[in-house]
Amino acid sequence: MGLSPRPQSTPVHQGGDEPWVATRLDFLVNWSRANSLWPMPFGTACCAIEYMATAAAKFDLARFGMERQSFSPRQADVLICAGRVPFKLAPVLRRIWQQMPQPKWAIAMGACASTGNMFDNYAVVQGIDCIIPVDVYVPGCPPRPEGLMYGIMMLQEKVMRERAADVSLRNEMTPDPTSKLYIPPSLIDEISEPFGNSVHQQRSGL
């Protein structure tokens, strides 16, 4: 933030001794948003333990303005999905995301939330970006608190670069089949085939 020396004469402020600040509105808004991100912890597995360690005294998430853990999506800014999400939980996660007011961001904490990890099976969503948009992916299984804090700092940096004039950031889009960016489900299936011999793996080898 630019703290400039007070000019000798200004049409803005004349007289008095109060210091004053000139800045861009974007900067001020983003600065306040980035430093008061209220997290909504969506902890489903071991990453949630690591998240608790991050929030507790030793690593202290409050330093990042995350003092208040928001266990209600209506009063949250950033959804931190810590752990694997089974298909049964997919509508729940999406509902929670829809309940969060704008502006909102999401962090996929750990390999399971980011990609499904080793749970390439019938029950687990292969990355929460199938359900909700994700801003920052934190790798690790589970990531150490330093890793999560680095992800949070990256998110803060991302928030700082946002422009209030860019309304598309706040648009909640549903997939549009007429768009050129739209990937049909069949193509997603084709390109998401895994490598290695697990493609047509049967439990019994029958």
CB 143 within 8 A of CB 109: yes
Tokens of 186: 């069949």
Q: How far apart are CA 192 and CA 190, in angstroms?
A: 6
DSSP classification of residue 73? G
Asked if residue 195 binds another protein (CB under 8 A), the reply is no
Asked if residue 8 binds another protein (CB under 8 A), the reply is no
Would you say 131 or 155 has its CB closer to another protein?
A: 131
Closest distance to another protein from the beta carbon of 177 (Å): 13
Asked if residue 130 binds another protein (CB under 8 A), the reply is yes
Q: How far apart are CA 111 and CA 114, in angstroms?
A: 5
Closest distance to another protein from the beta carbon of 190 (Å): 9
What separation in angstroms does the CA of 183 have from each of 64, 170, 194?
A: 37, 22, 18
Asked if residue 204 binds another protein (CB under 8 A), the reply is yes
Closest distance to another protein from the beta carbon of 204 (Å): 4
Which of 141, 45, 139 has its CA nearest to residue 86?
Answer: 45
Cβ count near 15 (within 10 Å): 5
Would you say 120 or 162 has its CB closer to another protein?
A: 120
Would you say 23 or 198 has its CB closer to another protein?
A: 198
Asked if residue 122 binds another protein (CB under 8 A), the reply is yes
Give the bridge partners for 137, in sequence order: 108
Closest distance to another protein from the beta carbon of 88 (Å): 5
Closest distance to another protein from the beta carbon of 130 (Å): 5
Tokens of 198: 């697990």
Q: What does the binding site for another protein look like in residue numbers (CB under 8 A)?
A: 87-88, 90-92, 94, 120-123, 125-126, 130-131, 185-186, 188-189, 192, 198, 200-206
